[in-house]
Structure 1
């Protein structure tokens, strides 16, 4: 899969805005974290039209915010498989080493790692969706000094047609997130099979 071959670059097709009236800011930690989880869940449902996706069961104690799902791997056919969890962890380790070499304290670098996991996961999913004709309008967060910036998608297009705006990303993503975490697991793994219809039924404006 060519998107994995050069993963130090962002490949997803996007139009980026630092400020735009079309994007409604999320001010609280809960609003931000929920919207990240809603984006991920919607994007996973879109990916499930092309891939089988394996997720690590979320922590049941996460009751304050919607859980951000850890992706173990995604697979297409028998040979095309991306070990997402391993890839994300490797990226985080590389970033932590870089920050430590720049004088950032280990405590600070490790505290940032959870945000980096979310950032790397969302960017990877958007990369993959771009391979199937998706395009994103995003807003780049400023972040704190030295922090990895993240592109927040507030519009999703496919073949130049608007599919989802910020409100529908949030609403539909929330419903899909709740559906995913209700799915049965085996040995701590939730498997979303390619074309899983009950998940796809949530994808409508």
Structure 2
């Protein structure tokens, strides 16, 4: 059996040449995506999560002031999620960051109780922070009458599910589709990220009509 191995920048390509019972040579191929392709897929997924978050905040901004915190570190791989400190409506406020932290700690404890190693549980915490933050925004909007058409992806080896919103409905009408979420959400994230860049925190005043940001 002959083996030809070709290494590309982004792929590992193995080709095995064997002969069948009639003496005819056939090839068996095996490919594995690595490097750039895997990085690209991560970036695309994260960028859509960022766009979703920004759309959710824009919708909630009709009801709440939104207090944002600057990013802890800059990312070169994908655009960054906004750090939400709290949502304020009159004298009432939702300590968003604290609620998400409590949810993530509960999931961490469940992982440990289910036999997940501390190292793996700690690694999952970063994913939990993102998914639980998005879930909390969805929960709040659902209470305000918004309906979501979503695709639910189960996490690997029992980790938390991830919800990807494809459509947003209100009063029986579709108001945002996937392309809208991606395009408008990215613009909103860019606008808010620039606003907070030079400040220790930034409050988005209620009713800014962020969906119309250019």
Which category of TM-score, normalised to the shorter sequence, fits these structures? 0.7 to 0.9
Distance 1:145 1:69 in 2: 28
* 1:61-72 correspondence to structure 2 within 5 Å: 61-72=74-85
* 1:73-152 correspondence to structure 2 within 5 Å: 73-78=86-91, 80-152=92-164
TM-score by length of 1: 0.80
Distance 1:171 1:131 in 2: 25
How far is 1:63 from its partner? 2.7
For the aligned residue pairs, the C-alpha RMSD in angstroms reads 1.7
Q: Secondary structure in 1 aligned to 2:195?
A: coil
Please tell me whether residue 202 in structure 1 is matched to residue 204 in structure 2: no
The gaps in structure 2 that reach 5 residues or longer are: 1-39
The gaps in structure 1 that reach 5 residues or longer are: 1-26
How far is 1:143 from its partner? 2.0
Kept after mapping to 2: 8 A contact 1:185/1:191? no
Q: Secondary structure in 1 aligned to 2:47?
A: helix
How far is 1:142 from its partner? 2.4
Q: Secondary structure in 1 aligned to 2:106?
A: helix
How far is 1:77 from its partner? 0.6
How far is 1:96 from its partner? 0.9
Larger strand proportion, structure 1 or 2? 2
Distance 1:184 1:117 in 2: 21
The structure, 1 or 2, with the larger RCO (C-alpha pairs under 8 Å, 6+ apart) is: 1
Q: Which has the larger radius of gyration?
A: 2
Deviations 1:114-134 (A, max 9, x none): 111111111111111112221
Distance 1:142 1:101 in 2: 19
Please tell me whether residue 53 in structure 1 is matched to residue 72 in structure 2: no
Aligned residues: 175
How far is 1:149 from its partner? 0.3
State the partner residue of 1:158: 170
Query: Displaced runs of 4+ in structure 1, greater than 6 A?
Result: none
